A and B are shown apart, each in its own frame.
Chain A
Amino acid sequence: MGVLYYIYRGIAVVLCILTLWELFKEKSIIRSISLGLVSVPLILRALMIK
């Protein structure tokens, strides 16, 4: 189970980087707000999982 958590954390970090990359280069303000509001809290929650 320990390995699974590390894999999951790694995936969460990669998703976090990709999301921020997408957010910073997004041209539509609606989509950038959507990306932020939906994905940032989800990723924060995912990182809280022990």
Chain B
Amino acid sequence: MRNKIVVRNIIVFIGVVALCVISGKDFLRMHKPDPISTSNPGISEIVMLSEYSPGLKGTAADTEVYILRGEKPGGKFLILGGTHPNEIAGMLNAVCYIENARVESGTLYIIPRANNSGYTHTCPLWGMMDIIDFQLPDGSVREFRVGTRLTNPIHQWPDPNYYYGNSGRELKHSEVAEIRNLNRNYPGDVNGTLTEKVNYGIFNLINTEKIDIIYDAHEAGPEFLRVNYLIAHEKAMSVGSMAVMNTNLQGHPFAVDISGATSYGLSHRALGDNTEAMATLFETLNPAQGSRRTKMSRELVLGGFDKNYVEITNRGLLSSGELTEAGISINERTANHMVMCRELMNAFSESNPDRPIIVSNMPSYDDFINKGLENILQPINS
């Protein structure tokens, strides 16, 4: 009898292990990086962020920095994608610039996956889609992971009950997990937590390479009060305001707001205060991040349509993240980031004619909308 019980339990154990292996493949898939096409002749160099923060070397948080140098000297522009990996339009904007942009003067520095560790997991209990894909005209499929906003706790553990780092921000109570949020720990610490080392790497890159403008690409749910807003440090307000005004003239409903003086640790405040660069951050609308959305689906994540938010909008309950029946597709959200980057470069060049940042070969806003990302992303070179 006892032997029968042991045999039965061994079978149960084997069944559990089999379930773990089958489901574990999904989890381990999240640890495999998504390839980015490097066939663009405009790419001058690819370096790792650990060159600016040695403590990142060999860790899951080390990430690629793509450098596109123009033939003529000019200003330097840093595009940060994937600070929050679940905010996919920011990363896709960075990838589109990497794969298409030709810099004529100045230099682009692009980090498509700023929080690389955040791509290896999804937010527990949120039911977020883990991978999105686009089928290209040649039949190949480009896959991109949808992670979550925090560093993976298997890479940075434990979360202390209280933390006061270089950011000047007290992380306690409900903000304890924010110790793993890249956008709460600037300017970082070369000897700090894993996330702080990433922050330090970006901060050191900005200082070493003398970056002129920082563009941190984000997305937010409809409840966020600053959706479609450019948040600018006071040093960036002049260029930022000019850029937003130009987008308004083109029909885009963007606005600008000044970075909060007590937004300690956030890129637009901390990098603006601690570097010579003009720090900006832009939020596009992503209904999949809303807390009142319906069931997670491809239509929601890529199509940007959610009937709950359409109803909430119709009742006049949203102030900036209004959603219509048309939704807001990933193509439109990525295009919004592209337009904002472009206009910031133009505004900087107007204000600094001796150091212009001129980028060509980027698809237009209409190209994003009409042709879609399927026709803008490049096939992966073999």
Cβ contacts under 8 Å, A26 to chain B: 5, 9
Q: A29 to nearest B CB, angstroms?
A: 7
Decide if B12 touches A33 in the complex (CB within 8 Å). yes
A23 is contacted by which of B9, B19, B20, B153 (Cβ under 8 Å)?
B9
Bound form: Cα–Cα A50–B157 in Å: 8
Known A-B contacts A40-B17, A40-B20; A23 and B12 likewise in contact (beta carbons under 8 Å) = yes
Does chain B have a CB within 8 A of A20? yes
The SS class assigned to the A binding surface is helix
* Residues of B in contact, count (CB < 8 Å): 18
A24 is contacted by which of B13, B24, B60 (Cβ under 8 Å)?
B13
Cβ contacts under 8 Å, A40 to chain B: 13, 16-17, 20
Does chain B have a CB within 8 A of A3? no
Q: B5 to nearest A CB, angstroms?
A: 6
* Residues of A in contact, count (CB < 8 Å): 18
Does chain A have a CB within 8 A of B29? no
Decide if A24 touches B20 in the complex (CB within 8 Å). no
Cβ contacts under 8 Å, A49 to chain B: 153-154, 157
**What is the number of contacts between chain A and chain B, taking CB atoms within 8 Å?**
43
Q: A17 to nearest B CB, angstroms?
A: 13
Decide if A24 touches B154 in the complex (CB within 8 Å). no
Cβ contacts under 8 Å, B155 to chain A: 50
Decide if A36 touches B12 in the complex (CB within 8 Å). yes
Identify the closest chain B residue to A40 (Cβ): B16
The SS class assigned to the B binding surface is helix
Does chain A have a CB within 8 A of B10? yes
Identify the closest chain A residue to B28 (Cβ): A48
B16 is contacted by which of A24, A25, A37 (Cβ under 8 Å)?
A37
B9 is contacted by which of A32, A41, A44 (Cβ under 8 Å)?
A32
Decide if B6 touches A32 in the complex (CB within 8 Å). no
Decide if A36 touches B16 in the complex (CB within 8 Å). yes
Cβ contacts under 8 Å, B15 to chain A: 36
Decide if B13 touches A20 in the complex (CB within 8 Å). yes
Cβ contacts under 8 Å, B157 to chain A: 49-50
Bound form: Cα–Cα A34–B16 in Å: 10
Bound form: Cα–Cα A47–B246 in Å: 53
Identify the closest chain B residue to A38 (Cβ): B16
CB within 8 Å of B: which of A1-50? 20, 23-27, 29, 32-33, 36-37, 40-41, 44-45, 48-50
Identify the closest chain A residue to B23 (Cβ): A41
Cβ contacts under 8 Å, A37 to chain B: 16, 19
Decide if A24 touches B6 in the complex (CB within 8 Å). yes
Known A-B contacts A32-B12, A33-B12, A45-B154; A25 and B6 likewise in contact (beta carbons under 8 Å) = yes
Decide if A32 touches B8 in the complex (CB within 8 Å). yes
Cβ contacts under 8 Å, A29 to chain B: 8, 12
Cβ contacts under 8 Å, B17 to chain A: 40
Known A-B contacts A32-B8, A32-B9, A36-B12; A41 and B154 likewise in contact (beta carbons under 8 Å) = no
Known A-B contacts A24-B6, A49-B153, A49-B157; A36 and B24 likewise in contact (beta carbons under 8 Å) = no
Identify the closest chain B residue to A44 (Cβ): B20
Q: Which residues of A contact B (CB under 8 A)?
A: 20, 23-27, 29, 32-33, 36-37, 40-41, 44-45, 48-50
Can you show 8 pairs from A to B with CB atoms below 8 A apart?
A26-B9, A29-B8, A36-B13, A37-B16, A37-B19, A44-B20, A45-B154, A50-B154
Task: Name 14 extra pairs, CB < 8 A, besides A20-B13, A37-B16, A50-B155.
Answer: A23-B9, A23-B12, A23-B13, A24-B13, A26-B5, A26-B9, A27-B5, A32-B8, A32-B9, A36-B15, A37-B19, A49-B153, A49-B154, A50-B154
Q: Ordered nearest first, which 6 A-B pairs have the shortest CB separation?
A: A36-B16, A48-B154, A49-B154, A24-B9, A32-B9, A32-B12
